[in-house]
């Protein structure tokens, strides 16, 4: 039976957000919730055949799957990015798709600043020096063997201007930085924003905050790195595919740019032979796509998904 007073709900990949520290009561109170730690694409249909609501973080839902789920009426992406959903197939089958847009701004924006500060102060290089005993061997009180910069007076260019980018902007301004914002790739001539090429040329830091779409795939590659200052850094806490990683590696090795801080790669988890991870470059910091992963943000994500479900149920009962 597809429709009941309390809809059947399946969460396909709970382990992707939960460390056994989250409260799902706002969802369980309004649905018959079944939780799976992880689901392969081949398991989606069998696990969801009676579900009116599916919650997914990274599990793909394509046309073939959607058309074999007769009860499905709501897909809740428990994330902001929705590139794992076939929207055309959902629309063709009268299925609503929703996400949670503002749950990680505080968490991700502070991670952006972490990467910027670490790169601009040569943090990793100094840690390596201490681990190798170089400070201990000095005949003076300090080490000044690597560049240390202040953020004050530097320019940060934001590509994408949603909740997270606006949170980064506030933090950057608090550090005395100048903020420039790239024009949308869709909406032209936005007042107060600059063309992408101008942002690339002017910025000391580029921070990416746009979704991964056909328009933004490989948005930053060889031509874009050539426009950037040789002293500039690029920060990506959005999606890995926005940067052409082969071109980034060349830009770092040849000194076209000074460094990069990445919280995402084009393949996740990355293979053991990933070229960026194995490059062993001091000016490259990679974190494991966990900028969003504070308990505060993850619980907010659950609560936002619960709100989406409750709004759907409220509308459903009026039909």
List pLDDT tens digits, range 268-299: 999 999 999 999 999 999 999 999 999 999 99
Query: What is the distance between the alpha carbons of residues 118 and 289, in angstroms, rounded to a whole number?
Result: 17
pLDDT bin (cut points 50, 70, 90) of residue 248 is very high
Could you list the active site residues? 239, 268, 289
The pLDDT value given to residue 59 = 96
Structure pTM? 0.87
The pLDDT value given to residue 5 = 77
pLDDT bin (cut points 50, 70, 90) of residue 83 is confident
Average pLDDT, stretch 34-41?
A: 96
Is residue 1 pLDDT above 80, yes or no?
no
Average pLDDT, stretch 100-113?
A: 95
pLDDT bin (cut points 50, 70, 90) of residue 80 is confident
pLDDT bin (cut points 50, 70, 90) of residue 102 is confident
Query: What is the distance between the alpha carbons of residues 214 and 53, in angstroms, rounded to a whole number?
Result: 28
The pLDDT value given to residue 28 = 96
**Residue 187 in tokens:** 């909406």
Residue 140's φ and ψ, nearest 5 degrees, are -135, 175
The pLDDT value given to residue 187 = 81
User: 82 or 233, which is more confident?
Assistant: 233
Q: What is the CATH architecture assignment of 105-286? A: 3-Layer(aba) Sandwich (3.40)
Degrees (nearest 5) of the Cα angle 290, 238, 164?
90
The pLDDT value given to residue 4 = 72
The pLDDT value given to residue 317 = 66
Average pLDDT, stretch 55-60?
A: 96
| Mean per-residue pLDDT over the chain, rounded | 94
Place domain 8-103+295-317 in its CATH homologous superfamily.
Answer: NAD(P)-binding Rossmann-like Domain (3.40.50.720)
Is residue 319 pLDDT above 60, yes or no?
no
Please, where in the chain does CATH 3.40.50.720 lie? 8-103+295-317, 105-286
List pLDDT tens digits, range 160-215: 999 999 999 999 999 999 999 999 888 877 888 999 999 999 999 999 999 888 89
Is residue 25 pLDDT above 90, yes or no?
yes
């Amino acid at each position: 039976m597809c429709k009941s007073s309390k809809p059947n709900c399946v969460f396909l990949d709970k382990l992707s957000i939960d460390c056994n520290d989250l409260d799902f009561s706002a969802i369980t109170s309004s649905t018959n919730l079944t939780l799976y730690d992880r689901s392969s694409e081949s398991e989606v249909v069998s696990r969801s055949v009676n579900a009116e609501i599916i919650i997914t973080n990274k599990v793909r839902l394509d046309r073939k799957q959607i058309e074999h789920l007769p009860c499905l009426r709501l897909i809740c992406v428990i994330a902001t990015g929705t590139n794992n959903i076939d929207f055309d197939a959902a629309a063709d089958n009268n299925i609503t798709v929703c996400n949670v847009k503002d749950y990680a701004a505080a968490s991700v924006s502070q991670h952006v600043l972490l990467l910027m500060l670490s790169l601009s102060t040569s943090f990793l290089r100094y840690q390596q020096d201490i681990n190798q005993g170089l400070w201990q061997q000095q005949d003076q009180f300090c080490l000044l063997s690597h560049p240390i910069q202040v953020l004050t007076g530097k320019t940060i260019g934001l590509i994408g201007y949603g909740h997270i980018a606006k949170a980064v902007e506030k933090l950057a301004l608090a550090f005395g930085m100048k903020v420039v914002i790239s024009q949308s790739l869709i909406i032209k001539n936005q007042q107060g924003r600059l063309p992408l090429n101008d942002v690339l040329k002017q910025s000391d830091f580029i921070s990416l905050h746009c979704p991964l779409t056909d328009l933004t795939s490989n948005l930053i590659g060889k031509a874009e790195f050539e426009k950037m200052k040789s002293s500039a850094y690029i920060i990506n806490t959005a999606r890995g595919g926005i940067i052409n990683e082969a071109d980034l590696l060349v830009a770092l090795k040849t000194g076209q740019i000074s460094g990069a801080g990445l919280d995402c790669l084009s393949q996740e988890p990355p293979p053991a032979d990933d070229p960026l991870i194995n490059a062993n470059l001091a000016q490259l910091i990679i974190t494991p796509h966990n900028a969003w992963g504070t308990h505060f943000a993850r619980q907010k994500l659950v609560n936002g998904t619960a709100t989406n479900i409750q709004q759907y149920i409220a509308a459903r009962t009026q039909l």
